[in-house]
């Protein structure tokens, strides 16, 4: 199952980018044997400043046809890492070819896109910078693959 992280804005070079790249490399390496991955970052930018609605159009274009859409939203479902791993495995086992995690810009995700998504996840009630959400999601993808592989990374 291929994974896309479709996000508004550009993750520039720096510590966040280094962490993101490291976790996605680990995910790709660990997930390969589990039929998870590869993972790909697709960044979109609304250069005309059209707001959330314009960002939603760009995000929808970034999502492959037929992909399961999972938004990252503060009002989404909060789950444990083992539960997230099981969710990924369930989607994979259902024959999903692609899952696209959608991360909005500074104002969040357009309500119409939120309403049409297949799932919504949250990293808690706190609001996180959208660039950090990318890093946190990449880490959780790697953690999920490690859990499913029975690896030692997740200690619970």
Give the count of domains, the chain: 1
Q: Which domain holds residue 58?
A: 2-149
The alpha carbon of 66 is separated from its chain's Cα centroid by a whole number of angstroms, namely 16
Mean pLDDT for 87-100 is: 98
Does the residue 127 lie in any domain? yes
Does the residue 17 lie in any domain? yes
Does the residue 9 lie in any domain? yes
How do residues 2-51 score in pLDDT, each as one tens digit? 999 999 999 899 999 999 999 999 999 999 999 999 999 999 998 888 89
Q: What is the pLDDT of residue 26?
A: 97
And the tokens for 22? Answer: 């490291």
Does the residue 156 lie in any domain? no
Average pLDDT of the chain, as a whole number: 95
- Distance in angstroms (rounded) separating the CA atoms of residues 65 and 32: 22
- Distance in angstroms (rounded) separating the CA atoms of residues 74 and 78: 9
Q: What is the pLDDT of residue 8?
A: 96
Does the residue 82 lie in any domain? yes
Does the residue 155 lie in any domain? no
Mean pLDDT for 67-75 is: 96
**CATH label of the domain that carries residue 72:** 3.40.1280.10
Does the residue 154 lie in any domain? no
pTM above 0.85, yes or no: yes
pLDDT at 156 over 90: no
């Amino acid at each position: 199952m291929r994974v896309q992280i479709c996000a508004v804005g550009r993750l520039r070079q720096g510590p966040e980018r280094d962490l993101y790249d490291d976790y996605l490399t680990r995910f790709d390496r660990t997930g390969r044997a589990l039929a998870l991955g590869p993972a790909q970052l697709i960044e979109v930018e609304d250069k005309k400043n059209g707001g959330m609605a314009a960002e939603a159009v760009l995000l929808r274009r970034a999502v492959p046809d037929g992909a399961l859409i999972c938004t990252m939203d503060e009002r989404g479902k909060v789950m444990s890492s083992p539960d997230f791993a099981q969710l990924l495995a369930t989607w994979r086992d259902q024959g999903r070819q692609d899952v696209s995690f959608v991360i909005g810009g500074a104002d969040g995700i357009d309500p119409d896109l939120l309403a049409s998504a297949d799932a919504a996840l949250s990293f808690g009630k706190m609001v996180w910078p959208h660039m950090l959400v990318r890093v946190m999601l990449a880490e959780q993808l790697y953690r999920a693959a490690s859990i499913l592989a029975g690896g030692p990374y997740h200690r619970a």
